[in-house]
Structure 1
Amino acid sequence: MSGSVSIKPDDKKEEKPAAAMLPPPPKPTASSMEMQSGKNKSRRKRNCKICVCFSILLFLLICIIIIILAFTLFKPKRPVTTMDSISVERLRASVNPLLLKVFLNLTLNVDLSLKNPNRVGFSYDSSSALLSYRGQLIGEAPLPASRIAPRKTHLLNLTLTLMADRLLSESELLSDVMAGVIPLNTFVKVSGKVSVLKIFKIKVQSSSSCDLIVSVSDRNVTSQNCKYSTKL
């Protein structure tokens, strides 16, 4: 038996294809970088414009709402000053026929009410209630500054005393006292501000003037005619 010799072919190694070499990414040029930067700036500017426009619209809307409320729901109304009653507290009158001189001592009580019809508070300055005789100021009482709450009324009691040294027209006074009646006038003016939403401050003014007749014999007010005035 003859020996057989098997010859194995040489193992051939599989040759792997060489990986394809990709070209390196292009480096950004100066022009492309400028274009990208320009796009970013344009985007930021557009966003800023949108924010500014939105803020302006919101501000205008708030202003419109405030104005509508100020002149509708919170529309300022005129305060009212009223002299509810005027009475004689003290009256002494005598005439010296030889000297044709009058001695007069007069004190009046005035009940005053200040009404605030507004939905907001009304602050008024200090003033005075005035007592006059035939155009001459003969007495006054202080009215201190204060604040009236919304839709509230202040009740005040004032005392007006005649100041004898201010009576200059004694001839007319002598005639009036002899006739038994003394014509007088009481006047009160209140000036202040109504603050609407703490933004708008509107000046308001209210006044009250009363002509009255005081009876010397009865020592009381026999006639009273009042006029009231208010304005913004």
Structure 2
Amino acid sequence: MDVEKANHRRKRNRTCCCIGTTICIIIAIVILILILALTVFKAKRPVISYDHMSIEDLDVSFDITKLKVHLNVTLDIDLSVKNPNKAGFKYSNSTAFLNYRGQLVGEVPLPADQISAGETKPMNVSLTLMADRLLSNSDLYSDVKSGVLALNSNVRISGKVKILGLKIHAVSTSSCDFSVFISNQTIRDQTCKYKTQL
């Protein structure tokens, strides 16, 4: 009987030991996952950068009798989107906008794509100013006559980062104010603001 009790006690001790070890391993794994989720795999915001802007085409003509100006401008813009995450960033269809004094005057679609972990994806955008949208704008004639056209370009990319099985929504916005100098067809006074949110 004593031998049976001793064996029973040993089995119970082994079972308790196994259960205790398993619980300790599970707790350690949970702590490790939490640490990784809050450090290495923490979701980071993708960042849009304006790398280079140039004038691809610029045509200006005046109608002095009607005090009107005919203007066609096409800008060549090199952007890059950096994904600092340890997982891919998948973004949906987006759009790059061109504004003149708060008025939308041009847009170009940016097709949906994916950016691998740690990758910086270059994008080339050709934005054309739609002159017909400016026919009613009274400031255009005086701005073109002065030789400087103040414009704004705005890009917003929305997508998801998948980290440890969780899909985290991320939005990156970039807005650049700049001046087009008509006489020598250059872009100057470029000021950009970047905003990202999760």
- Residues 74-133 of structure 1, C-alpha deviation per residue, up to 9 Å, x if partnerless? 111111100111110000111101011110011000000000111111111110010000
Give the 5 Å matches for 1:4-153: 62-153=29-120
Counting matched residue pairs gives 184
Distance in 1 (alpha carbons) for counterparts of 2:23 and 2:166: 21
- Indicate if the aligned counterparts of 1:130 and 1:141 stay in contact, CA closer than 8 A: yes
Residue 64 of structure 1 deviates from its aligned partner by 4.0
Larger radius of gyration: 1
Taking structure 2 as the reference length, the TM-score comes to 0.84
Corresponding residue of 1:203: 169
1:105–1:162 CA contact under 8 A, matched in 2: yes
- Give the deviation of 1:215 after TM superposition: 0.8
Which residue identity is paired with 1:183?
A: A
CA distances 1:179-212 after superposition (whole Å, capped 9, x unpaired):
1111100000111111112x11111111111001
Of residues 184, 187, 206 in structure 1, which corresponds to 2:151? 184
Alignment of 1:151-162 (within 5 A): 151-162=118-129
Q: Does 1:222 align with 2:169?
A: no
Structure 2 unaligned segments of length 5 or more: list them. 1-14
Q: Which has the higher contact order (CA 8 A, sep 6+)?
A: 2
Unaligned runs of 5+ in 1: 1-46
Distance 2:59 2:152 in 1: 19
Runs of 4+ in 1 over 3 A off after TM superposition: 51-65
Segment of structure 1 superposing worse, 136-145 or 166-175: 166-175
Task: Map Cα deviations across residues 132-190 of structure 1 (whole Å, 9 max, x no partner).
Answer: 00001000111111111111100010000011221154310001011111110000011
Query: How far off its partner does 1:62 sit?
Result: 4.3
Deviates more, 1:205-214 or 1:54-63: 54-63
Task: Give the residue type in structure 1 aligned to 2:189.
Answer: S
CA RMSD of aligned residues (A): 2.2
Amino acid at match of 2:126: T
CA distance in 2 between counterparts of 1:94 and 1:170 reads: 16
Instruction: Tell me the distance in 2 between the aligned counterparts of 1:120 and 1:214.
Output: 39
**C-alpha distance in 2 between matches for 1:174 and 1:123:** 43
Match for residue 174 of structure 1? 141
Aligned to 2:7: none
Please, which moves more after superposition, 88-97 or 55-64?
55-64
Q: Distance in 2 between matches of 1:167 and 1:53?
A: 75
- State the identity %: 52
Quote the Cα distance in structure 2 between the aligned partners of 1:209 and 1:169. 25
Q: 1:151 aligns to what SS in structure 2? A: coil
